[in-house]
Amino acid sequence: MGEVYLLTGEPGSGKTTAIKKVVAALGPEHCDGFYTEEVRVSGQRTGFEIVTLDGQRGLLASTSQSSPHRVGRYGVDLTALESLGLAAIQHALQTRPVVIIDEIGPMELLSPAFREAVSAVLESSRTLVGTIVLRPYPWADELKRRPGTHLLELTTTNRDRLTEELVTFLLQKLREQGMLKRGEEQAGREEGEGSQRGVQSFRSAAEGEGYGDGPSDSDRQLSTG
């Protein structure tokens, strides 16, 4: 089984931003999957959309969505998740060393097909990098406790450091596996001076920083990046 690195934290702690930085650092040849972005109208959040790493978009949830699936004030449409999102996970599973999933949360976990796709990644040799709901939540809690899962709780004070250490650690893993091209390897060395310290710090954080009870309000369960 591959290793699992999951970012968690309060809404606004920077989880999706951190995932985007990881994706940018690794490059499209080393990772695939999807992340979730807010949809805003006149400055107000009205929903969320799935964004695959090759730029495809689909609506996941909206305040105006009529659906039997609801999380807080949002109606959830699983169509985009189960088409675009699952296809991106499957492509990553078949062709990339790192699978990106943002996020594993109340909306996505409404889909049995999504849970099966995550399980397939967990059973593979791929590295999973994703985000997960902070508050206690069925199925997600089992994943948090799974052997081999490293859970990092982001805050506004530690997010930049932990993201940088995660990037350094993942680049080192790719380098050790011989997956970085010459130019990428040089860039990784330049970016990761003192990388061993970063890797050691990251390992300590992954092993030592747990997760706590999140907010109980249903709307605050949702990732805002």
Query: Which residues have C-beta within 8 Å of that of residue 188, sequence separation ≥ 6?
Result: 171, 172, 174, 175, 180
Q: What is the pLDDT of residues 173-224, one digit of tens each?
A: 999 888 886 555 545 444 444 444 444 555 555 555 443 333 333 333 444 4
- Tell me the pLDDT band of 57, cut-offs 50, 70 and 90: very high
Q: What is the pTM of this model?
A: 0.84
What are 100-135's pLDDT values in tens digits?
999 999 999 999 999 999 999 999 999 999 999 999
62: left (phi over 0), alpha (psi -120 to 50) or beta: beta
Phi/psi at 13 (5° precision): -80, -10
Average pLDDT in the chain: 85
pLDDT at 105: 96
Do the strands 70-71 and 149-153 form a parallel or antiparallel pair, or are they unpaired? unpaired
Three-state DSSP at 39 gives strand
**Predicted local confidence at residue 61, as pLDDT:** 97
**Mode of pairing for the β-strands spanning 44-52 and 31-41:** antiparallel
C-alpha triplet 146, 5, 102: angle, nearest 5°: 105
The pLDDT value recorded for residue 54 is 95
